[in-house]
A = this chain, B = another copy of it.
Amino acid sequence: MAETASPEQARTLSAAVLRDLRDDIVNCRLRPGDKLRFSDLKARYGVGLSPLREALQHLAAEGLVDAQDQRGFTVAAMSVDDLQDLVRMRLEIESLTLTDALSCGDDAWESEVVRSAHHLRLTGPATEQAGPDAAAEWCRRHKNFHMTLLSGSSSPRLRNLCDALFDQSERYRLWLILHGTVARDVEGEHDTLMDAALARDTARATALLKQHIQQTADEVADLTATQAALAAA
């Protein structure tokens, strides 16, 4: 379990474990709230304590794990409140970054956007039918498309922040998929978003992106409302 999650090879065990741990948390193979015992992690990743502790400290700073002195580490919890906080930040930060990307992005950026959009389209329709491998591949391409779009920005801090916030959001999107919420017309949303971006239509692009982000929050709200209704009945 948990072999190389992304093709880039790490030059240290610490970096490799960081990558694998983040991937396992983002994809809920390590579930929210789980206690991260070193004996378990050692066996799971086949490394010693030093690289594990370093990776966990890094993830603690990123917000994907909680650290408590002398009491170890746990996977960061998920909650409706947390999702609202997360979505609020993404709405503001990603709009800002996208605006910057539209004013800074050059020809190479445009081409990369087109490439990543096409790459994503190629796995699109098969999401439901194909196995978990195909779903994982779609997630990778989906993230790549969004990050490529934002990569035109000239601010390293904004780009990093968007990346971290996207990872945190992935757990909530996965939760929706696991509970059978049928995706809306995501394909179309990506296409129109890309069109607005390439046309440098800032107002339209940010509006579309905000809508795209907000809908995850709304769907989770619907789902929890439905579950509450079911529980009451």
Residue ranges of A at the interface with B (Cβ–Cβ < 8 Å): 10-12, 14-15, 50, 53-55, 57-63, 69-70, 85-86, 88-89, 92, 96, 154-158, 160-161
Contacts and interface: CB of A to CB of B under 8 A. Distances in A.
A10 B89 contact: no
Contact of A70 (B11, B53, B60): B11
A63 B61 CA distance: 10
* Chain A interface mostly: helix
Q: Copies per complex?
A: 2
Contact of A54 (B54, B92, B161): B54
Contacts of A14: 57
Contact of A85 (B59, B60, B89, B157): B157
B85 A155 contact: yes
A153 B180 CA distance: 35
A151 to B, nearest CB: 15
Nearest to A95: B92
Contacts of A60: 58
B11 A155 contact: no
Contact of A12 (B12, B58, B69): B69
B85 A10 contact: no
Given A58-B60, A60-B58, A11 B157 contact: no
Nearest to A10: B69
Given A12-B69, A69-B10, A69-B15, A88 B58 contact: no
